[in-house]
Homo-oligomer: A and B are copies of this chain.
Amino acid sequence: MSTSSTPAPGARVDGRAPDELRPVTITRNWLEHAEGSVLVEFGSTRVLCAASFTEGVPRWRKGSGQGWVTAEYAMLPRSTNTRGDRESVKGRLGGRTHEISRLIGRSLRAVVDTSALGENTVVLDCDVLQADGGTRTAAVTGAYVALADAVAWAKRKGLVKASRQPLTGSVSAVSVGIVGGLPALDLRYVEDVAAHTDMNVVCTGDGRFVEVQGTAEAVPFDRRELDAMLDLAVAGCARLTQLQQQALAEGS
């Protein structure tokens, strides 16, 4: 008779079920200066999301009556296991940074009524303090909450009319993949590296899709696998939506 620490086939590195999120925490008002700020954690992944609300819009949008929401994503050099060079020192943004910043901005704009926002700008800075997979999805999820706080701040200050609601819904995001041949939700870094396919899905609070970005890392994926990943992602986003609502329900 023996016991074995060998995980059962298909078991995940941290023992989670395939459809299980890591522990998620959303800490509002982590910063004193920002109009909205959130420290969001998906397990060891830790992203600081700061929403800066400013009156006025970029030049190309002036006079339109419409506001603007944008995002910038970055990783601290030692957020990862080995230190990465600073993009400020290299003097140029990498493609991945650009790509993720654009993704976050688009995701948030999907639930923003820019007319209701008026000619104001909200910039969401999403800085990864510690990375263990899923930094972009944590960033989207936390940035939404910071955005909601900044919008509420602007309404209290009268910068956005009380009668208007700039947010038409909520967004959250999660990663899914095919790891060891099986679909899994919210991949950690070691899972991400091992995954045959990696997909990031951004959903609205009512379960529709804002972004679906799936990439075969080594082996192309078929329609059945795609469907399985989409199912996991939709359920994961629904759970994240609840957590966002709970966080926002607490007095700030």
Contact = CB atoms under 8 A, between A and B. Distances in A.
Interface in A77-111: 77-83, 86-99, 101-102, 106, 110
A108 to B, nearest CB: 12
A157 interface: no
DSSP majority for the A interface?
mixed
Interface string A127-144: 101101000000000000
Given A33-B79, A130-B32, A226-B230, A214 B216 contact: no
How many subunits of this chain does the assembly comprise? 6
A31 B88 CA distance: 22
Contacts of A102: 95-96, 99
Interface of A: 31-34, 37, 44, 48, 50, 52, 54, 72, 74, 76-83, 86-99, 101-102, 106, 110, 123, 125, 127, 129-130, 132, 199, 203-204, 207-216, 218, 220-223, 226, 230, 234
